[in-house]
Amino acid sequence: MSSLIERWRALDARPFPAEASAGKVNGVNLRFVESFAAGVVERFLTGRELEWSDLSLMLQHRAQLARALPALSPDAQTYFGELDAIMARVIGDAATDLYKFTNVTGVELSQLLARRAEERLASLPSHEHFQAMLGAGLIVVANTLRGPVMAAVDQHQAAEKMVQLAADWLRKLLEPSVSGGVAK
């Protein structure tokens, strides 16, 4: 943790890039991103546990930084590149319990999948994007379930149990979309 503390203190001692102070860069308010990150990093470095909402917002801010970085000068890119690296380290270090790891990794995979679909399938209609993303997501699920199925004595029964487990989790994860609330 000491190298993270040292990195944060060194970045915090640097002046905020002037070009990022005035308005938005590629639609991103970099002052807000840096301010939010500073609060979360400070909480983490003082030993306070981060909430899932903190980590989720940090992931979103990292995606915003990636959008803004190409429009910045080399000095500002260095500053915000270091901020991004620190944010990534905090997310990784904070997401070590099962619940936070699951959520952080799921969001990261979803963001990567959406980016890949946009990059590689931009000319296709949205329903084909959906089909491609669903197929890719299901391959991840199948690859995850393959190990327990192959290790089982009765592989057919194990496969059915894994499919049921996945279906139960999908229902639970989709509940907020149906009810407008939070997953239980």
Per-residue pLDDT reduced to its tens digit, 2-52: 699 999 999 999 999 998 887 789 899 999 999 999 999 999 999 888 888
CA torsion angle 83 21 56 171 (round to 10) = -140
Which whole-number Å values give the CA distances from 62 to 26, 45, 47, 74, 80, in the listed order? 14, 19, 22, 18, 10
Give pLDDT tens digits along the chain (184 positions).
569 999 999 999 999 999 888 778 989 999 999 999 999 999 999 988 888 888 888 998 999 999 999 999 999 999 999 999 999 999 988 888 888 888 888 888 888 898 899 899 999 998 998 999 999 999 999 999 999 999 999 999 999 999 999 999 889 888 888 887 655 4
Other residues' Cβ atoms within 10 Å of the Cβ of residue 25: 22
